[in-house]
Amino acid sequence: MRSAWGVFALFIATGAAFLIWMFMPIQASQPAITLTGDPARGAYLARMSGCIACHTNEEKASGILAGGAALESPFGVFAAPNITLSPEHGLGRWSIDDFATAVRQGISPQGRPYYPAFPYQFYSGFSDQDIADLWSVLPRVPVVDAPDPATDIRFPFSIRAGLKPWQRLFGAPVAASPVSGQSADYNRGRFIVEGPAHCAACHTPRNMAGALKTQSWFAGTTLLPGGENAPAIDARSLSANGWTVADLAYALQTGITPQGDVLGGSMAEVILGGTQFLTEEDRRAMAIYLLAEP
């Protein structure tokens, strides 16, 4: 009898621990940001990070950062929301600290976790200055008072409660910090590739839960939204396919491959909306890092 009570108590305790784990706020509190942002630096970082590419629907020409095109995934249809300073539909009522928590931790001002379609895992290394720079860009962007583009997230993924455990289990920041003993170019490239440019978001396969398979970093995937393929971009595969630093840097600028093909698919969006705006040095640094054998 006593052991039955023990089992029951253990059951209750486990349940309670699980509920706490599930519903406890996950955001880490951060000191308030008081820095002044540089809009030019912020706009550059926004290009590098894919903010503009993903939150802008180029085809509909609905406005810069006013909401992106639909992204069809095995979990349903996602679309990046309106992040202009519209008070009703955008970030008009946010503080810079709300913005910092959203970008670096993937949590809304209401404390709700975002879906990993928003690649905050790659932005966690942004400094307070980076956040202030990005924030200072928004007042320069015309406000669009239009609701977010429609999403259609499939059951059971539509239950947001599942996202907290997801963040705890799989939402760890992606490492992009410098490696000692490596060149400045390598480390700059590493910061861009593993951080803001979030190459792994598409070029690393994901498990059933949508989490990145860290063992297969940059191994490529055939399961991109919309049924696209993302080729392997680990150093060995790139070298085996004949890519050089100069070729890669040039492809990130123009989309042109060494064979004279012009890349399409979502890589075209990455290049047209992102990497074409980077400096030669940054594109070269990305190529140097990608082609460096681990």
Interface residue list for another protein (CB under 8 A): 39-40, 43-44, 46-47, 52, 56, 58, 61, 64, 74, 137, 140-142, 207-208, 222-223, 227-229, 231, 246, 250, 254-256, 258-269, 271-273, 276-277
Least distance from another protein to the Cβ atom of residue 263, Å? 6
Q: How far is CA 64 from the centre of its chain?
A: 18
Least distance from another protein to the Cβ atom of residue 189, Å? 19
CA 32/CA 115 separation, integer angstroms: 25
Residues 6+ apart with CB under 8 A from 117: 71, 73, 78, 80
Q: Of 15 and 264, which CB lies nearer to another protein in the complex structure?
A: 264
Least distance from another protein to the Cβ atom of residue 249, Å? 9
Q: Of 39 and 109, which CB lies nearer to another protein in the complex structure?
A: 39
Q: Of 149 and 187, which CB lies nearer to another protein in the complex structure?
A: 149
8 A C-beta contact, residue 209 and residue 219: no
- What are the angstrom distances between the C-alpha of 250 and each of 79, 105, 256? 30, 33, 7
Least distance from another protein to the Cβ atom of residue 9, Å? 39
Least distance from another protein to the Cβ atom of residue 104, Å? 22
Instruction: Give residue 91's identity as a one-letter amino acid code.
Output: L
CA 127/CA 136 separation, integer angstroms: 14
Q: Of 81 and 107, which CB lies nearer to another protein in the complex structure?
A: 81
Written as six digits, the tokens of 131 are: 């956040």
CA 225/CA 282 separation, integer angstroms: 28
Q: Of 20 and 208, which CB lies nearer to another protein in the complex structure?
A: 208
Q: Of 108 and 254, which CB lies nearer to another protein in the complex structure?
A: 254
8 A C-beta contact, residue 79 and residue 70: yes
8 A C-beta contact, residue 82 and residue 89: yes
Least distance from another protein to the Cβ atom of residue 126, Å? 18
